[in-house]
Protein backbone atom coordinates (compact mmCIF):
# COMPACT_ATOMS: atom_id res chain seq x y z
CA UNK A 1 0.00 0.00 0.00
CA UNK A 2 2.80 2.39 1.00
CA UNK A 3 6.12 1.73 -0.65
CA UNK A 4 9.46 3.49 -0.23
CA UNK A 5 12.08 2.55 -2.82
CA UNK A 6 15.77 3.45 -2.77
CA UNK A 7 15.16 6.62 -0.82
CA UNK A 8 18.19 8.87 -0.46
CA UNK A 9 18.14 12.11 1.43
CA UNK A 10 20.55 14.78 2.66
CA UNK A 11 20.09 17.79 4.96
CA UNK A 12 22.11 20.24 2.84
CA UNK A 13 25.49 18.46 2.65
CA UNK A 14 24.82 15.94 5.39
CA UNK A 15 23.62 12.72 3.86
CA UNK A 16 21.39 10.84 6.29
CA UNK A 17 19.45 8.24 4.26
CA UNK A 18 20.98 5.65 1.95
CA UNK A 19 18.79 3.54 -0.35
CA UNK A 20 16.05 3.04 2.21
CA UNK A 21 13.44 0.46 1.14
CA UNK A 22 10.25 0.03 3.13
CA UNK A 23 6.88 -1.45 2.47
CA UNK A 24 3.66 -1.30 4.43
CA UNK A 25 0.75 -3.49 3.39
CA UNK A 26 -2.87 -2.78 4.07
CA UNK A 27 -3.95 -3.72 7.57
CA UNK A 28 -0.45 -4.15 8.97
CA UNK A 29 1.39 -2.65 11.88
CA UNK A 30 4.93 -2.12 10.65
CA UNK A 31 7.58 -0.83 13.01
CA UNK A 32 10.87 0.90 12.31
CA UNK A 33 13.33 0.66 15.15
CA UNK A 34 16.81 2.09 15.39
CA UNK A 35 19.16 4.10 17.57
CA UNK A 36 19.08 7.88 17.90
CA UNK A 37 19.99 9.58 14.67
CA UNK A 38 19.43 6.47 12.53
CA UNK A 39 17.14 8.43 10.21
CA UNK A 40 13.71 7.16 11.28
CA UNK A 41 12.07 10.56 11.63
CA UNK A 42 13.72 11.74 8.44
CA UNK A 43 12.17 8.81 6.60
CA UNK A 44 8.72 9.78 7.88
CA UNK A 45 9.31 13.43 6.93
CA UNK A 46 10.11 12.29 3.41
CA UNK A 47 6.89 10.28 3.24
CA UNK A 48 4.87 13.30 4.42
CA UNK A 49 6.81 15.49 1.95
CA UNK A 50 7.92 17.92 4.64
CA UNK A 51 11.31 17.42 3.02
CA UNK A 52 12.04 16.35 -0.54
CA UNK A 53 14.19 13.27 -1.26
CA UNK A 54 17.40 13.59 -3.27
CA UNK A 55 16.44 10.42 -5.09
CA UNK A 56 14.16 7.42 -4.81
CA UNK A 57 10.49 6.87 -5.11
CA UNK A 58 7.59 6.82 -2.66
CA UNK A 59 4.25 5.46 -3.82
CA UNK A 60 0.90 5.06 -2.11
CA UNK A 61 -1.63 2.69 -3.69
CA UNK A 62 0.48 2.97 -6.81
CA UNK A 63 0.32 6.79 -6.86
CA UNK A 64 3.67 8.58 -6.90
CA UNK A 65 3.97 11.05 -4.03
CA UNK A 66 6.87 12.73 -5.83
CA UNK A 67 4.91 15.72 -7.09
CA UNK A 68 2.69 16.21 -4.06
CA UNK A 69 2.63 19.03 -1.52
CA UNK A 70 2.44 17.94 2.14
CA UNK A 71 -1.29 18.70 2.28
CA UNK A 72 -1.94 16.46 -0.73
CA UNK A 73 -0.34 13.57 1.12
CA UNK A 74 -2.77 14.06 4.01
CA UNK A 75 -5.67 14.27 1.57
CA UNK A 76 -4.52 10.96 0.08
CA UNK A 77 -4.87 9.36 3.54
CA UNK A 78 -1.32 9.33 4.93
CA UNK A 79 -1.40 11.08 8.28
CA UNK A 80 1.60 11.62 10.51
CA UNK A 81 1.68 12.11 14.27
CA UNK A 82 5.10 13.71 14.52
CA UNK A 83 7.87 13.24 17.03
CA UNK A 84 7.51 15.58 20.00
CA UNK A 85 3.70 15.79 19.64
CA UNK A 86 3.68 19.19 17.99
CA UNK A 87 0.20 20.08 19.11
CA UNK A 88 -0.91 23.69 18.66
CA UNK A 89 -0.05 25.17 22.06
CA UNK A 90 -2.39 28.15 21.98
CA UNK A 91 -5.41 26.22 20.79
CA UNK A 92 -7.80 24.27 22.96
CA UNK A 93 -8.07 20.50 22.87
CA UNK A 94 -11.23 20.84 20.82
CA UNK A 95 -9.63 23.25 18.36
CA UNK A 96 -6.65 20.93 17.97
CA UNK A 97 -9.03 18.09 17.17
CA UNK A 98 -10.91 20.26 14.69
CA UNK A 99 -7.64 20.99 12.91
CA UNK A 100 -7.14 17.25 12.65
CA UNK A 101 -10.17 17.13 10.38
CA UNK A 102 -9.26 20.23 8.41
CA UNK A 103 -9.24 18.30 5.13
CA UNK A 104 -12.61 18.94 3.47
CA UNK A 105 -13.45 15.28 2.83
CA UNK A 106 -13.11 14.48 6.54
CA UNK A 107 -15.24 17.31 7.91
CA UNK A 108 -18.46 15.37 7.44
CA UNK A 109 -17.13 12.77 9.88
CA UNK A 110 -15.90 15.34 12.37
CA UNK A 111 -18.48 14.76 15.08
CA UNK A 112 -18.33 10.99 14.70
CA UNK A 113 -14.54 11.07 14.97
CA UNK A 114 -14.61 13.36 18.00
CA UNK A 115 -16.91 10.87 19.75
CA UNK A 116 -14.55 8.07 18.77
CA UNK A 117 -11.35 9.71 20.06
CA UNK A 118 -13.08 10.83 23.26
CA UNK A 119 -13.99 7.19 23.79
CA UNK A 120 -10.36 6.17 23.21
CA UNK A 121 -9.03 8.97 25.43
CA UNK A 122 -11.66 9.96 28.03
CA UNK A 123 -9.09 12.32 29.56
CA UNK A 124 -9.31 14.54 26.50
CA UNK A 125 -13.04 14.93 26.90
CA UNK A 126 -12.57 16.17 30.46
CA UNK A 127 -10.08 18.73 29.16
CA UNK A 128 -11.90 19.79 26.04
CA UNK A 129 -11.41 23.51 26.69
CA UNK A 130 -7.86 23.41 28.05
CA UNK A 131 -5.10 24.95 25.95
CA UNK A 132 -2.89 22.31 24.34
CA UNK A 133 0.30 23.94 25.59
CA UNK A 134 -0.76 23.62 29.23
CA UNK A 135 -1.41 19.86 29.10
CA UNK A 136 0.97 17.30 30.56
CA UNK A 137 3.30 15.40 28.26
CA UNK A 138 1.17 12.27 28.34
CA UNK A 139 -2.02 14.19 27.68
CA UNK A 140 -0.34 15.98 24.78
CA UNK A 141 0.63 12.62 23.32
CA UNK A 142 -2.96 11.40 23.55
CA UNK A 143 -4.11 14.61 21.90
CA UNK A 144 -1.54 14.24 19.12
CA UNK A 145 -2.71 10.70 18.35
CA UNK A 146 -6.37 11.70 18.61
CA UNK A 147 -5.77 14.66 16.29
CA UNK A 148 -4.17 12.32 13.77
CA UNK A 149 -7.17 9.99 13.90
CA UNK A 150 -9.51 12.89 13.16
CA UNK A 151 -8.15 12.90 9.59
CA UNK A 152 -9.58 9.46 8.72
CA UNK A 153 -6.11 8.05 8.04
CA UNK A 154 -5.64 5.07 5.77
CA UNK A 155 -2.09 4.87 7.03
CA UNK A 156 -1.13 6.43 10.34
CA UNK A 157 2.56 7.29 10.78
CA UNK A 158 3.43 7.41 14.47
CA UNK A 159 6.82 8.82 15.45
CA UNK A 160 7.82 7.65 18.94
CA UNK A 161 4.39 7.85 20.55
CA UNK A 162 5.66 6.30 23.79
CA UNK A 163 8.48 8.78 24.31
CA UNK A 164 8.46 10.29 27.78
CA UNK A 165 5.40 8.42 29.03
CA UNK A 166 5.07 6.54 32.30
CA UNK A 167 5.30 2.72 32.00
CA UNK A 168 1.57 2.40 32.64
CA UNK A 169 0.73 4.88 29.93
CA UNK A 170 3.20 3.23 27.53
CA UNK A 171 1.30 0.01 27.91
CA UNK A 172 -2.04 1.65 27.21
CA UNK A 173 -0.67 3.59 24.21
CA UNK A 174 0.43 0.31 22.63
CA UNK A 175 -2.96 -1.24 23.41
CA UNK A 176 -4.63 1.71 21.77
CA UNK A 177 -2.40 1.42 18.69
CA UNK A 178 -3.38 -2.22 18.39
CA UNK A 179 -7.02 -1.23 18.79
CA UNK A 180 -6.80 1.44 16.12
CA UNK A 181 -5.20 -1.09 13.79
CA UNK A 182 -8.01 -3.56 14.43
CA UNK A 183 -10.45 -0.88 13.36
CA UNK A 184 -8.83 -0.95 9.94
CA UNK A 185 -6.12 1.69 10.13
CA UNK A 186 -2.75 0.62 8.74
CA UNK A 187 0.13 1.70 10.95
CA UNK A 188 3.75 2.63 10.39
CA UNK A 189 5.28 3.00 13.81
CA UNK A 190 8.69 4.42 14.69
CA UNK A 191 9.78 3.41 18.16
CA UNK A 192 12.67 3.25 20.61
CA UNK A 193 10.66 0.95 22.84
CA UNK A 194 11.78 -2.06 20.84
CA UNK A 195 10.28 -4.77 23.00
CA UNK A 196 6.75 -3.37 23.17
CA UNK A 197 6.63 -2.29 19.56
CA UNK A 198 7.95 -5.54 18.09
CA UNK A 199 5.45 -7.43 20.20
CA UNK A 200 2.50 -5.69 18.58
CA UNK A 201 3.82 -5.42 15.02
CA UNK A 202 3.34 -7.72 12.09
CA UNK A 203 6.66 -6.78 10.52
CA UNK A 204 9.57 -4.54 11.39
CA UNK A 205 12.62 -2.85 9.95
CA UNK A 206 15.82 -2.05 11.77
CA UNK A 207 17.66 1.11 10.73
CA UNK A 208 21.27 1.95 11.47
CA UNK A 209 22.99 5.15 10.38
CA UNK A 210 20.63 5.83 7.54
CA UNK A 211 20.29 2.32 6.19
CA UNK A 212 17.83 -0.52 6.64
CA UNK A 213 19.96 -3.34 7.99
CA UNK A 214 17.41 -5.94 8.97
CA UNK A 215 13.80 -6.77 8.35
CA UNK A 216 11.43 -9.52 9.36
CA UNK A 217 8.35 -10.51 11.30
CA UNK A 218 7.82 -8.90 14.69
CA UNK A 219 8.31 -12.01 16.84
CA UNK A 220 11.22 -13.22 14.72
CA UNK A 221 13.10 -10.03 15.35
CA UNK A 222 12.35 -10.23 19.07
CA UNK A 223 14.37 -13.43 19.10
CA UNK A 224 17.08 -12.14 16.79
CA UNK A 225 20.54 -12.10 18.40
CA UNK A 226 21.55 -8.78 16.90
CA UNK A 227 18.37 -7.12 18.17
CA UNK A 228 18.73 -8.69 21.57
CA UNK A 229 22.25 -7.33 21.89
CA UNK A 230 21.72 -3.92 20.38
CA UNK A 231 18.32 -2.98 21.77
CA UNK A 232 17.10 -5.31 24.46
CA UNK A 233 20.27 -5.49 26.52
CA UNK A 234 20.28 -9.28 26.55
Partner 1 sequence: MAVFMQSLLSGILIGGVYALIGIGLTLIFGVMRVINFAHGDILMVGMYLTYLAFTSHFGIDPFVSVLITFPLMFLFGGFLQKVFINRVLNAVAQNQILLTIGLGLIMSNTVMLIFTSDYKILSTSYSSSTFQVGGGVSVSVPLLISFLITSVITVALYWFLLKTDTGQAIRATAQDRDAAQLMGINVKRMSIIAFGLGSALAGTAGALISPTYYIFPQVGSVFTLKAFVITVLGGMGSVVGATLGGILIGITESLSAVYISSGWKDVIVFVLFLLVLLFKPSGLMGKSRT
Ligand X SMILES: Nc1ncnc2c1ncn2[C@@H]1O[C@H](COP(=O)(O)OP(=O)(O)OP(=O)(O)O)[C@@H](O)[C@H]1O
Regarding 48 and contact with partner 1 (CB under 8 A), the answer is yes
Q: Which does 14 bind (CB under 5 to 8 A by kind): partner 1, Mg ion, ligand X, none?
A: ligand X
Residue 29 beta carbon to ligand X: minimum distance, rounded to whole angstroms: 19
Regarding 208 and contact with Mg ion (CB under 5 A), the answer is no
Regarding 41 and contact with Mg ion (CB under 5 A), the answer is yes
Q: How far apart are CA 161 and CA 123, in angstroms?
A: 17
Q: Which is nearer to partner 1, 94 or 170 (CB)?
A: 94
Regarding 86 and contact with partner 1 (CB under 8 A), the answer is yes
Regarding 89 and contact with partner 1 (CB under 8 A), the answer is yes
Q: Which residues pair with 32 in a beta bridge?
A: 190, 205
Regarding 48 and contact with Mg ion (CB under 5 A), the answer is no
Strand positions, DSSP E, 69-210 = 78-81, 155-159, 186-191, 203-208
Regarding 75 and contact with partner 1 (CB under 8 A), the answer is yes
Binding residues for Mg ion, rule CB under 5 A, total: 2
Q: Which is nearer to ligand X, 35 or 108 (CB)?
A: 35
Binding residue (CB under 8 A) for partner 1 from 34, 39, 100, 161: 100
Question: CB of 48 within 8 A of CB of 80?
Answer: yes
26: number of Cβ within 10 Å = 11
Question: CB of 213 within 8 A of CB of 206?
Answer: yes
Q: How far apart are CA 234 and CA 230, in angstroms?
A: 8
Q: Which does 32 bind (CB under 5 to 8 A by kind): ligand X, Mg ion, partner 1, none?
A: none
Strand positions, DSSP E, the chain = 2-11, 14-24, 29-34, 55-60, 63-64, 78-81, 155-159, 186-191, 203-208, 211-217
Q: How far apart are CA 51 and CA 210, in angstroms?
A: 16
Q: How far apart are CA 110 and CA 151, in angstroms?
A: 9
Q: Which does 39 bind (CB under 5 to 8 A by kind): Mg ion, partner 1, ligand X, none?
A: ligand X
Q: Is 161 exposed, middle or buried (0-12, 13-18, 19+ CB in 10 A)?
A: buried
Q: How far apart are CA 212 and CA 163, in angstroms?
A: 22
Q: Which does 53 bind (CB under 5 to 8 A by kind): Mg ion, ligand X, partner 1, none?
A: none
Q: Which does 107 bind (CB under 5 to 8 A by kind): partner 1, ligand X, Mg ion, none?
A: partner 1
Q: Which does 103 bind (CB under 5 to 8 A by kind): partner 1, ligand X, Mg ion, none?
A: partner 1
Regarding 83 and contact with Mg ion (CB under 5 A), the answer is yes
Q: Which residues bind partner 1 (CB under 8 A)?
A: 48, 50, 69-71, 74-75, 79-82, 86-91, 95, 98-100, 102-103, 107, 147, 151
Amino acid sequence: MLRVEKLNFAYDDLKVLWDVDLEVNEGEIVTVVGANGAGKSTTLKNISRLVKPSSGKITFDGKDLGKMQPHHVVEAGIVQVPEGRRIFPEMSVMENLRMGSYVKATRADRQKNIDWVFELFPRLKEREKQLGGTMSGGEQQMLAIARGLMANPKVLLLDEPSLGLSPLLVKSIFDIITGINQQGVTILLVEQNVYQSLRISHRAYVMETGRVVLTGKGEELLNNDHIKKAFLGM
